[in-house]
Amino acid sequence: MATAKIKKTYQKPKGTFDILPEDQKYWEKVRKVFKHIALGYGFDRIDTPIFEHADLFGTSAGETSDIVEKQMYVFKSKGGDMLALRPEGTPGVMRAFMENGLFNMPSPAKLYYLGPFFRYEQPQAGRYRQFHQAGLEVIGDKDPIYDAQVINMLVIAAEELGLKNLNIEINSIGCNKCRPAFRTQLVRYYRARAAKLCKDCKRRLKENPMRLLDCKEEKCEQLKAHAPNLIDHLCEECHDHFKCVLEYLDELEVPYSLNSHLVRGLDYYTKTVFELFLEDEHVEGGSEKTHQRSRLALGGGGRYDNLSKMLGGRDVPAMGAGVGMERIIGIMKRQSIKVAPLWKPDVFLVQLGVLGKKKCLKLFEELRKAGIATGEAFGKDSIQAQLRSADRAGVKLSLILGQKEAIDGVVIVRDMESGSQEAIAMEKVVKIIKDKLKK
């Protein structure tokens, strides 16, 4: 007996998602706001490849970082090159800066980007394997004023998107001068408590002790609470730099709190590091609804004065930051933040009969060229069905063109609110419609 062939169906890969038409307005809103702010601060756009040589990220983030060890999508090309889908933006931007000789740009070079990134990790709310970031990079100046400016720009972007209850957590992780002494104390503290560490942190204790402060395991979080503070071991230069950053943030009235154990898990960071959080209140269901507060990380960044040298270049101070677009859009939808539709018609074409449909097709093009947003339902023959579509679209005017109107060279203009109608000569309809819409 022959077995029936099972028809295969396809689904999106785990950790990815489709951006459906109904959600596009949120994405365009975030892109528009971020672009507007970046241009307002003198930033130029840069786009780098979605994949790079894998060792670019190993060298910059650190071979023992979670990104490199666990999260990168690495593959070998047909030519034998080891490539990786980009897990973050900064190394690629710095590579492009060095490779293309952007040292000749006005200093500092201010660059922004928007695009997809990839990390293999367990999907959860607001976090995906393919995700999107908006990022800022200031390359070529060590002045702490740029640290504060970049932080302020992220806060402004979030506020302009309607988000409230924002807070910056900030710290300084020092430089190569002051970190060694701190690292010694950190190792001494954790070595005495090594038995209580998670498996990854036991390895970090040997390979990269600073990463101990970045662990999110509950038992490691408890140990971190009493660990030495790097901020107490800063050299004079790092201390003065951090002091200036905080003073600039005070001047800008940016809300922040000090987190002496914030390090961010990438090797290239120096001095200032920060994260942007939102205190989000939501309602839990059930017979007795309760208000719960959650703390959501929207993004972060820091200074990376050593990255250029790590990649084989000369010393180039730099500061950068990025925000996760999915997380922001999720909050906007949950908080019912209003976003205007991408397109809304001003008028609607209603046609009847073959000749009326032909004339409507041409009239549609004339209206479009005149900058009049025009809706249509060319596939429908019923006038009533088309008028219902016009009503749902919320247009002010409908233009009705049937066989008789086409022969007479006129268009019936219907006011959708009052229901009044008038016949207008075909050659005058575009100008008259523009005048009516202005009123």
List, as residue ranges, the binding site for L-histidine. 88-90, 119, 133, 137, 264, 268-269
Separation of alpha carbons 318 and 303, rounded Å:
6
Separation of alpha carbons 168 and 145, rounded Å:
16
Helix 353-369 / helix 429-438 crossing angle, nearest 10 deg: 60
Separation of alpha carbons 224 and 215, rounded Å:
9
43: left (phi over 0), alpha (psi -120 to 50) or beta: beta
Residues annotated within a binding site: 88-90, 119, 133, 137, 264, 268-269
Contact in structure between 375 and 347 (CB atoms under 8 Å):
yes
Residue 108 CA, distance from chain mean position: 23
Give 66's DSSP letter: H
Separation of alpha carbons 61 and 90, rounded Å:
10
Is the Cα torsion angle 34, 37, 39, 43 positive or negative in sign? negative
Q: What's at 61, amino acid-wise?
A: A
Alpha helices in 100-172 (DSSP H): 144-160
Residue 379 CA, distance from chain mean position: 38
Tokens of 384: 């009533």
List beta partners, residue 349: 376, 399
Tokens of 215: 């662990």
Cis peptide before 108 (omega within 30 of 0): yes
Distances in Å between the alpha carbon of 173 and those of 133, 232, 276, 289, 357? 24, 10, 17, 42, 69
